[in-house]
Chains A and B, each alone.
Chain A
Amino acid sequence: MTTTSGKVAAFQQIRVIANNLANMNTTGFKSERLLFEKAVAKQHMQFRGTQFESDVDSPGSINSRSQVAIRGSFTDFAQGNIENTGNPLDVAVEGEGFFVVQTPDGERYTRAGNFSLDESGRLVTQNGFAVQGSGGDISVSGPHVQVSPNGEVKVGDSTVATLRVVQLDPKTAERESALVFKANGAVSDVTEVRVKPGALETSNVNAVRELVDMIAASRLYDSFQKTEESIGTMNRLRNQQVGSLEG
């Protein structure tokens, strides 16, 4: 039944919205959006008796080919708000670009700059991925760790490393858990690293828009539901009438 595809699409929209809203307070989170396509039915068929007749969009015809199509989803890389925290290990990327982290599955990229130190003094993300600088892992041993606005990690007065910030191709970037992205396309280091130390980028989820989209999806679902019910009613009526004609 074609309305099933519409209802599944509506549920997928709800699930994407649910994940966005669950992460509306997650540092460095990027919301996911669905791309709907206005479904243009190629042909409408009208069933009269035993004949099929082509018709163009005549009202009252049963659209056997109209469906709601979702083209896919894309990650909205719009910048979230920058929140000052005053924490020396918090960093936010200004403008475009991603921090580089090393994971067991290879190099990944993230906007979440709420860094910490591990037991050996390496700069890591909250779940332990090593943040990459110009020379690989960044080891900090000593007090007064600071990050300067051009990405240099300083211990006291000496620079230990420079944070790597790279550009990704948004079309091929694939998202994974723990706020990282996998680059399936080209990755290029930015020419000039610009970061804001002592600050974090908040989630870019717009709660109002998500709620509105959720209500729209819910209404769409309802309308498909009602269409199903009326089709069911019409089928029952038709079956009764056909039955009575032949009887």
Chain B
Amino acid sequence: MSNSMFTAATGMEAQNTRIAVIANNLANMNTTGFKAARAEFQDLLYQIEKSPGSEQATGVVRPNGIQIGTGVQVVSTPNMMNQGNLEQTARALDVAIEGRGFFQVQLPSGETGYTRSGSLAINGSGQLVTQDGYLLIPSVTVTTTNTDRTIGVDGTISSTNPTDGTVTNEGTLQLASFPNEAGLRAAGGTIYLATEASGSAVTGTAGQDGVGELQQGFLETSNVNMAEELIRMILAQRAFEMNSKVIQTSDQMLSATNQIR
């Protein structure tokens, strides 16, 4: 009898999770390189029950039992790795990835992090770092006195000596790709970590073997679609209300049962 209440409770919890995912998406609408997540649901086990009293009264053969489900669960919250829009900033150290792939960064913990956020800077030692100060892998040291730094679509960084006009190749930006990008784990600050589900990183040159190209002077905006998220939020809210009505109705029936004299 209270089964329907537990079933409805799973529904409410699932919608709560969905709202939490949507809230995070909306909070990161303007975060460079952010990838929206989506909560995926699936139903739980079914029980086959016989219906009471149907054998004797009517003499009609019951075709099958009643398949009663036990609710819903969140099976995964994958990130949607669709490309975000490219926004022109005209800043020489802003690089956007057009296509698949991630920049590799050295995290303080020693792990390798992966990010789409290509807003780069130069640290005190002349190395290219992210806005958080994480070193790029492979690390690139630039000649700080040079000007007119260009980053080609294949990741080649070159700059010009202002005094004699010589062009120096300062290194190459490498990208890493994964068999299953959606399986990466978001570790905050637009950093993703490799997991079992994502597979191992495959490093490569930008523009080759299916890896995306680099666009200097652009940043990839978040791929959150505000209208879709708001619609999903409304649907989740309605579903939450419906499930709470089931709990109310079950509760009324249970309390009526308890009042039999």
Contact = CB atoms under 8 A, between A and B. Distances in A.
Contacts of A176: 45-46
Interface stretch (B142-150, B179-187, B214-222): B179-187
A18 to B, nearest CB: 4
B20 to A, nearest CB: 14
Interface string B59-74: 0101111111111100
Contacts, number: 226
B182 A121 contact: no
Interface in B212-253: 212, 235-236, 238-239, 242-243, 245-246, 249-250, 252-253
B15, B46, B252 — most chain A CB neighbours (10 Å): B46
Contacts of B246: 14, 17-18, 21-22, 214
Contact of B66 (A24, A70, A121, A207): A70
A127 interface: yes
A10 B239 contact: no
Given A119-B179, A143-B99, A229-B260, A70 B51 contact: yes
Given A71-B63, A214-B249, A37 B43 contact: no
Contacts of A126: 40, 42, 75-76, 78
Contacts of A26: 41-43, 72
B51, B65, B260 — most chain A CB neighbours (10 Å): B51
Contacts of A68: 53
Nearest to A202: B235
A117 B63 contact: no
Nearest to A215: B249
Contact of B250 (A14, A86, A143, A178): A14
Interface stretch (A52-60, A93-101, A188-196, A217-225): A217-225
A87 B80 contact: yes
A67 interface: yes
A42 B208 CA distance: 79
Contacts of B182: 116-117
A9 B5 CA distance: 16
Interface of A is mostly: mixed
Interface of A: 2, 4-5, 7-12, 14-27, 29, 32, 34, 37, 39-42, 65-75, 86-87, 112, 114, 116-121, 126-127, 141-144, 156, 171, 174-179, 207, 210-211, 214-215, 218, 221-222, 225, 228-229, 232
Given A25-B15, A214-B249, 7 more contacts: A22-B7, A22-B69, A23-B11, A24-B242, A67-B52, A141-B179, A225-B260
9 contacts: A9-B52, A12-B68, A23-B11, A40-B58, A69-B53, A210-B242, A218-B249, A221-B253, A225-B260
Interface of B: 1, 3-5, 7-8, 10-11, 14-15, 18, 40-46, 49, 51-54, 57-58, 60, 62-72, 75-76, 78, 80, 82, 99-100, 177, 179-180, 182-183, 196-200, 210-212, 235-236, 238-239, 242-243, 245-246, 249-250, 252-253, 256-257, 260-261
